[in-house]
Amino acid sequence: MDPVIMKALLILIVLMNLDKFAERNKCFAFLSFSDQVLSITAKTQEQVELLKNVSTQYETVLWQPVSPEYIKEEEPVHLFVPANSSDTVKDLLQGHAVAHEVLLDNTNEMIELQTRNDSTDPRSSSSYYERYHSLEDIYYWINRTTQEHPEMVKVVLIGSSYEKRPLYALKVHFKKQKQDKKAIWIDCGIHAREWISPAFCMWFVQNNRMWRKNRSYSTDSSCVGVDLNRNFDANWCTEGASDKPCSEIYCGAFPESEPESEAVANFLRSHKDSVQLYLTIHSYSQMLLFPYSCTLDEAENHNELVSFLVMAQEAAQKIRRYYRNTYKYGAGGKTIYLAPGGSDDWAYNLGIKYSFTFELQDRGRYGFLLPPSHISKACNEALIAVKTIALRVIEKTQAPQ
């Protein structure tokens, strides 16, 4: 990272949603040969209704949008279809003349790529940071990183998960930091299936060194898990969230009902005067978002937030000959749809005026199954955006009086 940023801002990094994360390999264990991801575009309202039915009444997993109520005409739906539902689903689509194409028909191979442990494979040319890691590996990595660079990286226990796994924040800073140092907060992995997100947090820390849902069981339902990014106290559980435990966007029993969102909220509440920039890392769709998501109202410093992202986009375009990627940007509610209870809105309302959600690669080619070979590009372009924004925040907030 830029030395200017390192001198000016303490960086706090947290990996969220540990219980889900620990189990994510198992989530895929039921997969059989030739499961597919389809991209389906409804042209009529009737086709929209059909897609809602298919995604709720059959054994499929909706990848995009996050929940069936957001399925709209002319907007591609990404649907994971297990092999044994494939014929039924395709018959239904064909019966209603719904256009669809196969996005991925080798999901098993993709999952194998993501979960493969090639740290032992001598032929492997990828570095540690160009692979995905298990939670156990990441705990080990945290420990090793803090031991190897005690002057730069410190670990703080900020809470624990429902299953009592420790939730650590990594403090990354220069040796001689002032007591009242301002900070950047970055959290990764709020949604467990977005593997690129924790990979980015590790990438970020590594770079510095050189210079969805908890697992708790609610009592009245067999469905497991809360969407942590609907669980913060920002228009909590209004339109765009669900109070039904079986929904992907279940908001939880009350704001901060989940130990992980509570730990993050407590930490930020007690450090709100020093944290000047809040970043939460997600995937996929390539978007840079800022408040509000919980309402269509504009944030008070809307134009300033836009200008930061324009600069981030420009910075990323300078390297576009390597990374031909563009990111959409804007206020969450207007750019995608209403999503109350998100951590970025909550942090913003707490007083952290620079608050952003990054939706990393890709746009759906691989979706949540982004191959390890894409990690470095995805992380590098995000890193450029983070640096650009952090420098702007420093200019705005720490300018000599």
Ligand X SMILES: *[C@@H]1O[C@H](CO)[C@@H](O)[C@H](O)[C@H]1NC(C)=O
Least Å distance, CB 226 to ligand X, is 5
* Residue whose CB is less far from ligand X, 32 or 127: 32
Nearest distance from C-beta of residue 74 to ligand X, angstroms: 17
CB 144 → ligand X: shortest distance, Å? 8
Q: How far is the CB of 35 from ligand X (least distance, A)?
A: 10
DSSP 196-262: HHHHHHHHHHHHHHH-----PBPTT-S-B---GGG-SSSSTTSBTBBS-TTSTTB--SSTT-SHHHH
- Residue 312 CB, shortest distance to ligand X, in Å, is 33
Contact 15, 198 (CB under 8 A): yes
The values of phi and psi at residue 182, to 5°, are -80, 160
Which secondary-structure segment (H or E) carries 188?
A: strand 182-188
Query: Alpha-carbon distance 2 to 33, whole Å?
Result: 46
Give the dihedral sign, CA 377/124/142/208. Answer: negative
Q: Which is nearer to ligand X, 216 or 238 (CB)?
A: 216
With beta carbons less than 8 A apart as the criterion, state whether 237 and 230 touch. Answer: yes
Cβ distance to ligand X smaller for residue 147 or 307: 147
Q: Which is nearer to ligand X, 94 or 307 (CB)?
A: 94
With the C-alpha atoms ordered 285, 291, 294, 299, is the resulting torsion angle positive or negative?
Answer: negative
User: Residue 13 in contact with residue 156, Cβ under 8 Å?
Assistant: no
Closest separation between CB of residue 380 and ligand X, Å?
Answer: 24
Shorter beta-carbon distance to ligand X: residue 30 or 401 = 30
Residues that bind ligand X (CB under 6 A): 30, 32, 46, 49-50, 53, 59, 82, 84, 117, 119-120, 134, 136-137, 143, 162, 214, 216, 218, 226, 252-253, 257-259
Residue 319 contacts residue 361 (beta carbons within 8 Å): no
Q: Read out DSSP for 78-124?
A: EEEE-HHHHHHHHHHHHHTT-EEEEEES-HHHHHHHHH--GGG-TT-
Q: Measured from the CB of residue 136, what is the shortest distance to ligand X in angstroms?
A: 6
Alpha-carbon distance of 265 to 358, in angstroms, equals 19
Show which residues are catalytic: 359
Phi, psi of 13 (to 5 degrees): -125, 130
Q: Would you say 42 or 336 has its CB closer to ligand X? A: 42
Give residue 221's Cα distance to chain centre.
26
> Closest CB to ligand X belongs to which residue?
216
CB atoms within 10 A of CB 320: 13
Question: What secondary structure letter does DSSP report for 150?
Answer: T
